[in-house]
Amino acid sequence: MPFKPNIYKNYSEPKCNSMMRREGSGLSNQARLQGTNNRSAAERVLIGLIVGVALSSCAYEERAGDGADNKAGMKAVTQTDLGGLENVHRFSAGVYGGSVPATDEAFAALARLGATGEGIATIVSVDGAEPDLARADAHGMRYVHIPIGYDGIDPEALAQLAAVMRDLPRPIYVHCHHGRHRGPAAAAAGLIAMGEIQPGDGLTLMKTAGTSDAYAGLFRDVAQASVLGEAQITAGWLELVERRSVTGLIATMVEINHAFDRLDLTRAVRWQTPDDHPDLAPAAEAGIIRDLLANLANAPNAHDEPAAFREMLAQSISAADRLEAGLVSWRGQRTAMAEGADEHEQNYQKLKQTCTDCHLQYRDR
């Protein structure tokens, strides 16, 4: 559904900001304002520019009204009531970032975030996973989905991020998965594109948030970001959606990340089932990772990938096999916990290293 004025949802924000498209098929998905489908391309661009100027005016008024929060500056958010969220920082005037909100507790924390506790109005996900639209709606927040990779921020995504900063109500919360790498980079790039901070400030923002130097592409694109023109930002605004369909390699990598998160919960208790997650089994999670990696290797287009990539993928599958087999045979017998846990840790580290090596070569540049 395209962004549309005043009829998508009755938010408490100014009506000029009540525009949102529900779904998109990808970063290149063609967006149209509702009611302009039969207009010429020139007419659609003109309408987009007019609406963009109007939205920019409204967003400027909201930023000007931020009060104490209107002074830009990077700092960690130290409130004690941010349950369910990690690595939360204030990046600039009315712009925050952190980990993905995945629970009711996390959305409740977002509802209290802000200079005066007014609550987040707009959530931006740059992760590949599908946003939790239901919980966002229940808390009166809107979602924008702009998936980016660890290898950098392409021009289309940069224009969309700038459009969010220009046109949508603040406070804004930008998140990836853990809130350390892609999220801070995306927030920095969007603020640079709007002229709110300089590239050097953006790099400092990323380092303060804990972005790893391994993600050279993210640092490169933030360092090279510059202020965008009105037409570029309006083109980005026309592409904004609440949810994008992510398929193929990206979708599989999202599932692998989630499986690693679950596996890490069992690792934290020496490869046992955690008391607060009785549904988790260490061997099962290792098996899920192995199967997902195998799916990548067996994909129809896998032979189109470089031979070195396929070899690294094979090494990851082998490492996951060893970890799963060890956990299955061990079965978590507490009498053998010390020796068995050490062996599982070694297999786990080998698996993680194969993933890291592949990411450095093919994902993070």
What are the extents of the domains in the chain? 15-244, 248-363
| Residue 248: predicted pLDDT | 74
Q: Are 117 and 330 in contact (CB under 8 A)?
A: no
| 56-65 contact pairs (CB < 8 A, 24+) | 56/166, 56/167, 56/230, 57/16, 58/14, 58/16, 58/17, 58/167, 59/17, 59/165, 59/166, 59/167, 59/168, 59/169, 59/170, 61/14, 62/13, 62/14, 62/94, 62/169, 62/170, 63/93, 63/94, 63/170
Element (H, E) at 191: helix 182-193
For the chain (365 residues), the mean pLDDT of every run of 10, in chain order, is 28 36 40 34 45 46 41 50 86 93 95 90 91 95 91 93 96 92 95 96 94 84 97 95 80 85 92 87 84 82 85 91 84 51 90 88 70
How far, in whole angstroms, is CA 146 from its chain's centroid? Answer: 8
What's the whole-model pTM score? 0.63
| Residue 365: predicted pLDDT | 61
Please report, as a single letter, which amino acid is at residue 214: A
| Residue 160: predicted pLDDT | 97
Question: C-alpha angle 345/180/280, rounded to 5°?
Answer: 40
Fold of 15-244: Protein-Tyrosine Phosphatase; Chain A (3.90.190)
| Residue 305: predicted pLDDT | 84
| Residue 31: predicted pLDDT | 33
| Residue 222: predicted pLDDT | 97
Q: Are 179 and 186 in contact (CB under 8 A)?
A: no
How far, in whole angstroms, is CA 363 from its chain's centroid? Answer: 15
